Structure 1
Amino acid sequence: MPTAYLEGYARAAGVDRALADRYVAATRIGDPEADALMAELQRHNPVDAQSWIARGIEGDPSALDDAPESVRAFFADIDATPPWVDRAGFLPGCRAFHRNSEMFVGAFVAAVLIEGFSTLISQSFSITGRIVDQGVRRLKQNNRQLVEIFLPGGLDRTGDGWKLSVRVRLVHARIRQLLAQDPEWDESAWGTPLSAAHMAYATASFSGLLLKRAAMLGVTLSDEERTSFMQVWRYSAHLMGVPHDLLFTSEDEALWLHRIGSTCEPPPTMESIILANGLINSAPLVAGFTEPKSRRALARKIYRISRAMIGDDLADQLNYPPMNTRGTLALLRLKNGAEQVLYRIAPSLGARRRASQFQTMLTVSLYGEQGASYRLPQHAHAEKDGLL
């Protein structure tokens, strides 16, 4: 067991030993299939390797006739849709997300991502600099994946949600390969970079925890919509390489995994503090606020909402500025509830509002040629690698 997990594991094992055992065991595991693919690609010309990746994600098996058998096998395996996937069942979750996209993105940025970076996954992102130095770009990429997987058809084989999920898996495998060779990485303390445990924790957070945090902002969904929302994320998590024994099947399972994983994880490190605060201060730039005074005002508002959602204990550990959050979430819920009533009374206003929300989502997401690139990192440190 990585030494950083010893104390947390002892506490978690007192609650659910079986899951705690699986979680800490997974801190020593990456993604065996994707890691083997990266090892294979290292033996070939980088131009050929990059071409196989792009064609594998964009094309069909015939596009890889000149690729090694192991490369063809990887994409053939990921092309196979698990029997539990019900694509028609994704639609209620897609509609629910885009009906409430502003609140979902708010909960994602102000709480779920922050809580994710309070774990040791922060060590990977801090060493590479892919959040610290490129926070605006990375946040836009996260937003884009949210948009794409929740578009109808987004997780079809030809959909951008499918392609981006696989891209995330391969980029993580490449960074894992690079960090394993980096002297800054302390394997005995932290385990495997971007481990299977952290991938499972992240997708459980992006699904079950996101529903919980969005509800704190006033989002209400039917049981059918909640189940559908979780199934969208379950398939995306599968595509991102989350191992079967840590892949949630329901909202309750995702929340339980988040709870046990959070208990196993050590307290936030200095890297967590840097990433969390950097993320909040990047959010106004993503939203288009470039004037210093307006940026500071919006960042302070996000800090207040974030503290109200994640709680004072974690906020204090992350060195948030002190502030009174009493009534913060209640006012947001009241505002959101009043808007929903208004849109039911005046459907045309609701339609315009949804169109505006979708346009905003596109604005705060990374699109364009660079955003769709399948180029894999060549260096562990982002400043040596250029934009991804």
Structure 2
Amino acid sequence: MTMSSAALTSRLFEPARLGPLHLPNRLVMAPLTRNRASADGVPTPLMATYYAQRASAGLIIAEATTPNAVGQTYPDIPAIYSDEHVAGWRRVTGAVRAAGGTMFLQLQHGGRIGHPETSGLTPLAPSPVAFPDPIHTPAGSRPGVVPRAMTVGEIRGTVADFAAAARRAVDAGFEGVEVHGGNGYLIHQFLSGVTNQRGDAYGGSATGRIRFAVEVVEAVADAIGPERVGLRIAPGVTANAMREHDVERVYPELVGALAGKGLAYLHVVFADPAQPLFHRIRRAWPSVLITNPALPWPAPFPADGGRQEAERLLAAGADLVSLGRAFLANPDLVERFRRGAPLNPVRPEYWYGGGELGYTDYPVLGRHPVAV
């Protein structure tokens, strides 16, 4: 089979539905932290250029964005809890919409992955279990601090902050939001019996540990409509020093609790069709399933940008497939996949912070990248 005929038969390029949205293809740009917002979390014009360059993705899920001040993880990440944040994001969504793209915004609270030198606040988490690794702050690398265990009142306040952030995201022009429940951040910390050592209704059994995730998703869905809401999960993923001992119990229960809520999608990180849990989740989830392939991390990065794994996931039952590093280095990734063209090399030294270099200067086929 030639590359052109392979492209014609690939499901990657088929249109898809996501709630009321019509997507031109099944490739999703995964949320990628790039640390290019202002110091107070306002998205910059450079971010508008970056995302507009990648508008050919079927869906863009914009990078992790904090719903409140105490949830900030790292310096120069975007936020969505003030009018200034909304105005900054509105420039981004306007540029993407003008380029023909569709965007959701990922909402992420860092929990124990935060530092007073970054946010000015002591991190909040399910339990006072410190992040064991150094964390980047404006003053450089610092040891993780012991977070303060959240009171029930603070849990309820945080749920409300997620809902308010979702309303602001829609006001900023996003089609919807993704609640980040993975990769070691606050919701994931509640799901794990290692980081969640609570003895109240938000801890203990799997039913208790999924309660916060369910309440956040339900509050966000009530705020903007379930058809605008996705949830990202990362069963067993060890990013950010996470450990879990009962993923086969926790995640089916979580998925079951949300399966009837009418959500837009479930996004499973590092999905592997060889694992039984993948198929349990697929059978239990009634709407769109987005999967992120289990590609090598941090290196080597596959020469095909993850296309083979993306095709494998679609064949196994996924509806959409998200790719991160491939979109980071290739603004025109969809077209490169269509043509079977070589991909730009990824430059990890420019991933976090900085300006145009390694951000908006990746070339597209036959020309330089477009600025907005």
**What TM-score do you get using the length of structure 2 for normalisation?**
0.28
**What TM-score do you get using the length of structure 1 for normalisation?**
0.27
Max radius of gyration: which structure? 1
Bigger relative contact order, structure 1 or 2 (CA pairs below 8 A, ≥6 apart): 1
Structure with the higher helix share, 1 or 2: 1
